[in-house]
A and B are shown apart, each in its own frame.
Chain A
């Protein structure tokens, strides 16, 4: 029996086990929306802006093992989706975005709501398709899901012209896909694995650096086993938080621009580094030449060969699925029973403990002003460290990453690569739908939240009782911090004047709001918001925080991992002098 292209789209999504479709209707997708109306296998979530649909689908993927799906119309619907697609691309998140397109005969004629979606998204997708024949829809969607979740994951766009959704064809959903030009790596090279093990066993100062690849590659258990069995110190990147338990003593904290003193010092001074699903990006190692000025051997495990030796030349590249590769390493280590030299390791730990003893995340408490770090610490306590935390972008994001100790992967959702303000609320919404029983918090600022605040309406409609923890300092905090440090305190356009009354905003959308101005109210209000009485409600917590607080430690542009700007109590520590590392210029 022949069915319409639109019905084929819907059937494909059903075959893929899609639970929620995040979208917004419009002219080019009306056929598909009509087919959605006539089915009840999956639920459509009507967002208030297409960007939010894509962030929600992205977070649905990030917080589960499934692939999030978004549906947008042509033209402005498609362009609104682009920020969300680029966000997912930079963080390697599997996702399928279906966009409507004007009818095939109208393509290229500057038709109403026409935009070259395949062209616009080409640099920010893993792959994209324009479906020109109704007979190709099922195959294409099958391929889209396969490409999105295999290898190094990423978003895939399927652009479907309106007439194709109206034409009719037989529906047959392929069981498997074969793409001759696409064969993702799985097993690592045994010789390389052997070399890596030998290097690790000979190390005097070994260190393991774990990125988002371990979270996406479901390798947290293997990472933890390796770290535990060899007694290694471990750090996670911003994207890797949760891949190794944040509350474990072998965890040195996050590294990078706002990493802890011990995590950054260990990165600089280790002699054997094993990088797992991480990419040595500028926010992590800063200047490659300075990073390499301390001699070290580097083992790099990654599913994407192009991530290896991109910024830093490595000694032992291992291309493969991180879970697979680590499993093989663990098997070999277990059989041989070998361990790194205990004496050397003890010396290394002694040095690390000395670094850690400085307590680089210490901040000055206040009884007058609410310290943002204090709010995150209390949130951690009250949620028992078990909440899914979606964050926006800015100072609050860094404080969340520093003070909420994520023990599990897929618990921390943030736009690490692209740094998209406005990600937090729709992400929290997507995560809540994927995890209906979980406590979901959105840590945000008064700047970021306003970039997608309209989603309070969607949250009402679909009963997603997320808790919004807004660290409201009346500044675009990270911008203000940079202006304080590097632009002579000229706070150009970083002050947020004429802010709305967020409590009233929340109430206007049918939610609950609190404004918290005293440090002594932080804990009781958090307890109330996360307590049983408000379990089913979205709560907006507007914390009026200290306006002058800065994120420390901080590595300035062009400086090295051991040249941090430290918090006031650590300013007398002798650090390596700053030689002008200019080879990568000002990367902002």
Chain B
């Protein structure tokens, strides 16, 4: 099953490689990973999307907690949460595709952020599923390039990941 892990870790050189090294050394999966500093510059927050059985996810959580630089780990799937990912997608926008791409971007609440005679670059934000759905919805042949950030996640309501 797919899980979204939120990790608070010391913003130190090498901390990221410890997390990534752990996943490869123990043959765990990383579907996506995002990381950046938080409002507290000494801390980074990482979101890892992974999948595995309950036992594997339990081990991943425990092994992450064991890393000295990891301050806290939560599995967002354990309660209500919000997930967002951003995608930039460059599409061919000529002839009838030009109108179609504009329309599709509007339907998915995307924004066209760069325009040339032959291309649009669309910015799209949503759950990973939604971004996938957009790719499915348009003609594959018009896609020139995609780049996705990987999911970021946060708990709903009062649930806060903080030290």
Contact = CB atoms under 8 A, between A and B. Distances in A.
A304 B63 CA distance: 10
Interface of B: 9-10, 13-14, 17-18, 21, 25, 55, 58-59, 62-63, 65-66, 68-71, 163
Nearest to B25: A123
B68 A147 contact: yes
Most chain B beta-carbon neighbours within 10 Å: one of A119, A182, A304: A182
Nearest to B63: A306
Given A180-B163, A309-B55, A309-B58, A130 B70 contact: no
Given A180-B163, A181-B70, A306-B63, 16 more contacts: A118-B14, A119-B17, A122-B18, A122-B21, A123-B25, A127-B68, A130-B13, A130-B14, A181-B9, A181-B68, A181-B69, A304-B66, A305-B65, A306-B65, A309-B55, A313-B55
A179 interface: yes
B14 A123 contact: no
Contacts of A122: 14, 17-18, 21
Interface string A179-190: 111100000000
Interface string A377-401: 0000000000000000000000000
Contacts of A127: 68
Interface string A110-137: 0000000011001100110010000000
A306 B21 contact: no
Interface string A292-309: 000000000000111001
Contact of B62 (A130, A147, A179, A306): A306
Interface in A273-313: 304-306, 309-310, 313
Contacts of B163: 180
Nearest to B22: A123
Query: Across chains A and B, which 6 residue pairs bring their CB atoms closest together, nearest first?
Result: A306-B62, A181-B71, A127-B68, A123-B25, A305-B62, A182-B68
Contacts of A147: 68
A304 B62 CA distance: 9
A309 to B, nearest CB: 7
Given A122-B21, A309-B58, A180 B14 contact: no
11 contacts: A118-B14, A122-B17, A123-B25, A130-B14, A179-B68, A181-B10, A181-B70, A181-B71, A305-B66, A306-B65, A306-B66
Kindly state the interface size class of chain A when it binds its partner: 10 to 19
B25 A126 contact: no
Interface in A125-155: 126-127, 130, 147
Given A119-B17, A181-B9, A126 B68 contact: yes
B19 to A, nearest CB: 11
Contacts of A118: 14
A81 B29 CA distance: 31
Contacts of A304: 66
A177 to B, nearest CB: 12
A159 to B, nearest CB: 11
A302 to B, nearest CB: 11
Nearest to A182: B68
Contacts of B10: 181
Contacts of A313: 55
Interface in A293-340: 304-306, 309-310, 313
A130 B17 CA distance: 14
B21 to A, nearest CB: 5
Given A123-B21, A181-B9, A306 B68 contact: no
A310 B18 contact: no
A310 B62 CA distance: 10
A436 B13 CA distance: 42
Nearest to B14: A118
A106 to B, nearest CB: 17
A419 to B, nearest CB: 18
